Amino acid sequence: MPSANIQWTDARLPEFAEGAATVGNFDGVHRGHRALVDMAAAWAKRVGGPAVAVTFDPPPYQVLFPTAPPRPPLTTLPERIELLEAAGADWVLVLRTTADLLALSPEAFFQEVLIRQLGAKAVIEGYNFRFGCNRVGNTGTLRSLCSGEEIRFEEVPPFLHEGDPVSSSRVRTALMTGDVARAAAMLGRHYRVCGTVVAGAKRGSTLGFPTANLGAIPTVLPGHGVYAGRAKLEDGTAWPAAINIGPNPTFGESAAKVEVHLIGFTGDLYGRPLAVEFLRRIRDVRAFAGKDDLIAQLKRDVEEAKRSVP
């Protein structure tokens, strides 16, 4: 299942032309996004072409507001591509976000990207889709434009969770408040972060609970707390894990860290990539009266993590 990096000015390539297209940021590739791709795949069979998911890199807000504080995504671009392909996209096109692209009117974006570049025979979008300069185009605009070109258009209704539409912002809010179970329900999978194991204070080893300190994490971190999860190494092996996100107040440390105790693992992980899935939140981060109290709690955390990991 291929992907391609393109500019909006590039010529059409026959491999991804004349199919069913869906366009969006797709950050997180949550269940609502997957419903769009699933519908695009169904329409692709009807029109006899590929199912094409078009996403953007960098995120448009970075181009529109270059001095704004960085906002970590829910997924990296490679993860987004992998998830869109797994959802059923035959092609994932990564459209380079430029000021010129964002300045296109809805009509110009439709003609340049969906008609000239993709030759789309069907277009599938969500109920809240916006496009064109200042996001003035909506599904009504797109429906009218498609009708004028005799292109099939389908508006996909919101995917609801607990009565509200699933969205990337709702997933982000759930994660930042530590509700990883709620985030998983909206994503349709456990939330995962990836990073590289870096050197830490090695205090965990002296307590009997060695931890891998995870650094260089480019995506959203769940809120401070202790979590049950699963750690995966680059060789595909997986270990139940107790994960601490936050400071170490018992030892007077205020800097937030991501510390992963791989239950049952022995070996050196420094410099190795590590992926961590979050299954459920166990407790808050808090200070303990002393080392013995902390060790007793860590034992309870590990047992809770073991029970939480299938």
Do residues 13 and 138 share a domain?
Answer: yes
For residue range 74-111, list pLDDT tens digits in order.
Answer: 999 999 999 999 999 999 999 999 999 999 999 999 99
- Assess whether 44 and 132 both reside in one domain: yes
172 within a domain of the structure (yes/no): no
With respect to residue 139, please indicate whether it lies within any of the assigned structural domains: yes
| Final residue before a domain boundary, out of 115, 140, 157 | 157
Number of domains in the chain: 2
**What's the DSSP call for residue 20?**
E
Residue in this structure with the two tokens 């009509």, named with its chain if needed: 107
* 20 and 118 inside one domain: yes
* Residues 213 and 298 occupy one common structural domain: yes
Instruction: Using pLDDT thresholds of 50, 70 and 90, give the confidence band for residue 251.
Output: low
| Active-site residue identified among 259, 277, 303, 304 | 259
**Given this model, what pLDDT does residue 288 score?**
84
Residues 212, 115 share a domain: no
Task: Provide the CATH number for the domain around residue 134.
Answer: 3.40.50.620
Do both 29 and 110 map to the same domain? Answer: yes
Instruction: Identify whether 259 is a catalytic site residue.
Output: yes
Query: Hey, what amino acid is at 47?
Result: V
- Tell whether 294 is covered by a domain: yes
171 and 248 Cβ atoms separated by less than 8 Å: no
Side-chain-facing half-sphere of 263: CA atoms under 13 Å: 20
User: Both 111 and 247 in a single domain?
Assistant: no
What would the pLDDT profile of 160-210 be if each residue is shown by its tens digit?
999 999 999 999 999 999 999 999 999 999 999 999 999 876 665 556 688
On whether residue 137 sits in a domain, the answer given is yes
Cβ neighbours of 88 (radius 10 Å): 18
My answer on whether 197 and 295 are in the same domain is yes
What is the C-alpha separation between 138 and 121, in angstroms, rounded?
Answer: 19
Please report whether residue 173 resides in a domain: no
Q: Which residue range is the domain that position 266 belongs to?
A: 189-308
Q: What is the pLDDT of residues 49-63, one digit of tens each?
A: 999 999 999 999 999
- 87 with 135, same domain: the answer is yes
Residue 203's CATH number: 2.40.30.30
Is 88 within the bounds of a domain?
A: yes
Of the two residues 291 and 144, the one the predictor is more confident about is 144
**292 and 224 housed in the same domain:** yes
Place of tokens 């991804």: 16
In a domain? residue 93: yes
| HSE, side-chain direction, 13 A CA sphere, residue 106 | 16
Q: Is residue 70 part of a domain?
A: yes
Exposure string over 63-86, b if 16+ CB within 10 A, otherwise e: eeeeeeeeeebbbebebbbbbbbe
Q: Up-side HSE of residue 51: CA atoms within 13 Å toward CB?
A: 23
Look up the pTM and report it.
0.93
Domain boundary among 134, 157, 180: 157
